[in-house]
Amino acid sequence: MQARIYQPAKTAMQSGRAKHEWVLEYLPSERKQIDPLMGWTGSGDMNRQVRLTFETKEAALAYAKKHGIAAQVSEPAARKAIKRPMGYGGNFAAKRRVPWSH
């Protein structure tokens, strides 16, 4: 069995930067099939339903090693620093280098 360990991205409803958990999910071992009668997709792979969460990446790796699971770790992407434009009040700041004019 192979698994993937990663930190999920925040949802659109979250505004904070904190990421608290690491997730271990099994990789698919067989393809999904379409049911001819209803058209639903399904699979006989029961491990796809398992999703384990851990506090740290090391805890997830220790679990995978203990149970003989070959795991690959996906590191989260680094957040880029955004330079925010100056607000209206910055036009009248004392530390402004260029005099404000129209």
CB neighbourhood size of 30 (10 A): 9
What would the DSSP string read from start to end of 19-77? ---EEEEEPPSS--EE-TTT--EE-S-GGGG-EEEESSHHHHHHHHHHTT-EEEEEPPP
CB neighbourhood size of 25 (10 A): 17
Give the pLDDT of residue 34.
93
- pTM here is 0.68
Token pair in block for residue 46: 């029961």
What's the mean pLDDT when you consider all of the chain?
Answer: 86
Give the pLDDT of residue 42.
87
Name the residue ranges covered by the structural domains of the chain. Answer: 1-8+19-29+42-76
Length, in residues, of the chain: 102
Give the pLDDT of residue 101.
65
Domain 1-8+19-29+42-76: what homologous superfamily?
atu1810 like domain (3.30.160.190)
| Whether the Cβ atoms of residue 57 and residue 32 lie closer than 8 Å to each other | no
The one-letter code for the residue type at 22 is W
| Whether the Cβ atoms of residue 22 and residue 7 lie closer than 8 Å to each other | yes
